């Protein structure tokens, strides 16, 4: 019995020594691990190459817009201006629009950014014609110079709380870009709901 107790005690002492060794090793490695994690975090928090597209859209723009209420309707047409500028150390592009819609003053604000953690572009939009905020996400296709985004929006015209929307930011050249949006019509088929063509003024 005494031999067994001595065996258990020896095992316990060996286990404690082993754990102490592991703790000492972890304490030695922890600063390096922490530094590596901090460096990775800081890199992911900083703007990346995907944000260069946002800089291309900076400036003062004029626009012409067409809006289709239904697939077979004649489009409503309007014009306006758009001031677009980078914010928060080039992480996001803010767009402030002024114009008219349905013969009423129209104002809206959009934010376009790239989430490096999720690996996708993110766009939000809100204006003085609704109370919801549209959020859409997607990817850039360099072959067509287009950012493809999709999501849902609460539609004040139909009352749909989650109406599907698909958007294309077409980066034509340094002085022109376009915004096309598509939604689902009464027949269940997709149709172009909005088309905005931008021309650089400054």
Average pLDDT of span 120-138 = 96
> What are the tens digits of pLDDT across the range 41-75?
888 899 999 999 999 999 999 999 999 999 999 99
158 or 185, which is more confident?
A: 185
Do 79 and 41 sit in the same domain of this protein? no
Query: For residues 19 and 148, what is the distance between their CA atoms, to the nearest angstrom?
Result: 53
Q: How far is CA 52 from CA 42, 48, 62, 86, 143, in A?
A: 19, 8, 22, 11, 16
Task: Count up the domains in the chain and report the number.
Answer: 2
At 147, which CATH number?
A: 2.40.128.20
Do 91 and 183 sit in the same domain of this protein? yes
Do 37 and 82 sit in the same domain of this protein? no
Do 144 and 53 sit in the same domain of this protein? yes
pLDDT for the residue 159: 85
Chain center to CA of 65? 23
Q: Please report which confidence band the pLDDT of residue 24 belongs to, taking 50, 70 and 90 as the band edges.
A: very low
Do 4 and 56 sit in the same domain of this protein? no
Do 41 and 53 sit in the same domain of this protein? no
144 or 22, which is more confident?
A: 144
Residue 11 domain boundaries: 1-45
> What are the tens digits of pLDDT across the range 2-14?
443 443 334 433 4
pLDDT for the residue 30: 64
> What are the tens digits of pLDDT across the range 73-111?
999 999 999 999 999 999 999 999 999 988 899 999 999
pLDDT for the residue 171: 97
Do 18 and 77 sit in the same domain of this protein? no
Do 55 and 18 sit in the same domain of this protein? no
Residue with tokens 């102490």: 20
Prediction pTM value: 0.81
> What are the tens digits of pLDDT across the range 144-177?
999 999 999 998 878 889 999 999 999 999 999 9
* Length, in residues, of the chain: 202
Residues with Cβ within 8 Å of 183's Cβ and at least 6 positions away in sequence, in order, are 155, 163, 164, 165, 166, 190, 191, 193
Do 119 and 169 sit in the same domain of this protein? yes
């Amino acid at each position: 019995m005494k031999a067994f107790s001595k065996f258990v005690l020896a095992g316990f002492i060996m286990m404690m020594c082993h754990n102490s060794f592991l703790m000492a090793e972890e304490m030695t490695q922890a600063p390096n691990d922490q530094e590596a994690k901090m460096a990775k975090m800081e890199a992911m928090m900083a703007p990346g190459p995907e944000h260069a597209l946002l800089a291309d859209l900076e400036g003062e723009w004029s626009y012409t817009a067409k809006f289709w209420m239904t697939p077979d309707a004649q489009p409503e047409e309007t014009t306006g201006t758009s001031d677009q500028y980078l914010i928060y150390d080039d992480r996001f592009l803010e767009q402030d629009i002024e114009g008219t819609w349905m013969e009423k003053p129209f104002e809206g604000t959009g934010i376009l950014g790239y989430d490096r953690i999720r690996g996708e572009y993110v766009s939000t939009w809100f204006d003085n014609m609704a109370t919801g905020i549209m959020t859409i996400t997607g990817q850039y296709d360099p072959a067509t110079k287009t950012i493809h985004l999709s999501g849902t929006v609460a539609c004040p015209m139909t009352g749909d709380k989650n109406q599907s929307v698909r958007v294309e930011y077409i980066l034509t050249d340094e002085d022109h870009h376009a915004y096309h949006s598509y939604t689902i019509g009464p027949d269940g088929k997709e149709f172009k709901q909005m088309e905005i063509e931008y021309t650089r003024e400054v």
